Chains A and B, each alone.
Chain A
Amino acid sequence: MGVAESWRTNQSRYLMEGRKCTKCKTLYFPIRQHCAKCMDDSMERYIFDTKGKIVEFTRIEEAPQGFELMVPYNYGIVELDEGVRISCQIIDSYSKDLEVGMPVEMTFRLLRKSEDQGILQYGFKALPIE
């Protein structure tokens, strides 16, 4: 991830910020310029709730660059309470204790250090809550 890309996406990664179309009210994550339905750019800021549930998950043992030191780690699809889905790591848990449907809360964590420009990439990871 480069400097401009990091800057461009940090509101979504840091704040769970997305967009809501002012015309058709469709919610989007991450931030995007145009509504896919209306093709219109009249979008307003929408901060997603940090609560959701696990849709599916896996334990990754062979990681790409920048994630090698974290293996094994849990990673999966989370559906936020608003119905929008995202992919992220699932932390502070053994995979044997995770279940589909389990409630999670998104937390702010370090994702990785980008290999080319040394940027520390922060973002969200899911923390199981009970």
Chain B
Amino acid sequence: MDKIAIIGVGSTDFGDLYDKAIDEIAVGALFEAIKSSGVEKEKIKSLFIGNMGSEIFVKQEHLGNMVTTLADLPAPSFKIEAAGASGAVAMRTACHSIQSGHMDIVGVIGVEKMTEFTKQSETQGALATGLDAMWESNMGGTLASGFAMMAKAHMREYNTTREQIAQVAVKNHQNARKNPKSQFKINVRVESILNSKLIADPLRLFDMTAACDGGSALILASAEVAESYDSDPVYIHTSKFGYAPMQMHRRESLTTLNGTKFAAERAYEKVGITAKDIDLAEVHDIFTIAEILAIESLGLVPVGEGGKATEDGVTALDGSIPVNTSGGLKGRGAPLGATGVSQAIEMYEQFNNLAGERQLKDIEWGLTHSMGGTGGTSVVTIYGR
């Protein structure tokens, strides 16, 4: 694929944004992205909006029209949904619109408004809509129970310890403290994670992400157009899609994310690199265990060694392959539809030396990994100059 330039980024804070409606969150991120790009608003040919659950969380559909109305931007706009991967799929689809030759500058927004509920069971129920409603959720299953079974299988198969899994949260919260837009700028200790409320054995409250509001936006452009706005843009070199069966019980493996593995292999092949060439990665740590499975399935660490690698600091900010330098979904926050887009913003900031205290040095290739549900949808994207 022809590479696509990221010429502007914008993001709201992630957290409890009680004073902002979903369209205000989306437009706040969009306007910041437009301003950072230097593009005139009217030049944006289309808006691709990644959102998982506006109908469930805030009883609002027709989100594309709602956002363009508030933005006063009479461009084609629509919502793209793939559960937690909604933002990444929207970004990928936006790239295709440019590659088709029909558009030269487009906007991508990822947005979610999750904090209107007053009961935990309502949030659990909304998250469970990314599963098979009849044959998983209706049988008593939850998003947490899916990842809990992956954790149990991984612990049994590879002797991964509960402490190693908890270390994912410790690390990501440490990184989140260095990100001004994070939801949780707190230090957590392994002991406090292991003593937090049990959600689905062995996963506990601090293994999870929390309900969160937030929006992230990108302005994407073709290489030719980009050069008039940015002399040295960060490029999306490829974005690949990976499939796995929606229902956990139909998966061949509970310890490998086969959709992620497929997408990653295709992405490396397309760019002509291997996992060893990746200098930083943002992965879909919707639960702690998900990061361990992701780094193994992406080939960043050997299969079965994700827990140990995390414990040994391999994925820490000063490790050999820093993972979730932004704080990840765990620390930065997980407004579901926004997560795939905010990962791209971390790439933009790291490549452009805008990442402040979490800035890495000498990076050539970056990777983002987004998932829907328990891994039925995976999107792997590779960034570079």
Contact = CB atoms under 8 A, between A and B. Distances in A.
Interface of A: 1, 5, 9, 30, 55-65, 67-68, 70, 72-73, 75-78, 85-89, 95, 100, 111-112, 121, 123
Closest 6 CB pairs of A and B: A58-B148, A85-B249, A64-B125, A59-B201, A56-B149, A64-B124
Contact of A30 (B120, B135, B141, B156): B135
Contacts, number: 98
B148 A63 contact: no
A70 B149 CA distance: 19
Interface residues of B, number: 33
Chain A contact residues: over half helix, strand or loop, or mixed? strand
Contacts of A63: 121, 124, 140, 142
A64 B142 contact: yes
Contacts of B200: 58-62, 75
A97 B153 CA distance: 17
Contacts of A85: 249-250
A112 B135 CA distance: 13
Nearest to A59: B201
A111 B134 CA distance: 11
B145 A75 contact: yes
A9 B133 CA distance: 12
Contacts of B142: 60, 62-64
Contacts of B140: 60, 63-64, 67, 70, 73, 75, 88-89, 111-112
Given A85-B249, A87-B135, A123-B139, A62 B153 contact: no
Contact of A121 (B135, B138, B156, B198): B138
B121 A75 contact: no
Contact of B136 (A55, A58, A87): A87
A64 B139 contact: no
Contacts of A112: 138, 140
B128 interface: yes
Contacts of B141: 75, 87
Contacts of B135: 30, 86-87
A75 B139 contact: yes
Interface in B133-169: 134-142, 144-145, 148-149, 152-153, 156
A100 to B, nearest CB: 7
B75 interface: no
13 contacts: A56-B153, A56-B254, A60-B140, A61-B200, A62-B120, A65-B122, A77-B248, A87-B135, A87-B136, A88-B140, A89-B140, A111-B140, A123-B138
With most chain B CB atoms within 10 A of its CB, the pick from A60, A85, A87 is: A87
Contacts of B138: 1, 111-112, 121, 123
A67 B89 CA distance: 32
A123 B145 CA distance: 19
A9 B197 CA distance: 35
Contacts of B125: 64-65
A38 B202 CA distance: 41
A112 to B, nearest CB: 8
Nearest to A95: B201
A87 B134 contact: no
Given A60-B144, A61-B197, 19 more contacts: A30-B134, A56-B254, A58-B145, A58-B149, A59-B198, A59-B200, A61-B200, A61-B201, A64-B128, A64-B142, A65-B124, A75-B140, A75-B145, A75-B200, A77-B149, A77-B249, A85-B250, A87-B135, A112-B138
A62 B124 contact: yes
A57 B149 contact: yes
A56 B122 CA distance: 26
A9 B247 CA distance: 17
Nearest to A57: B149
Contacts of B248: 77, 87
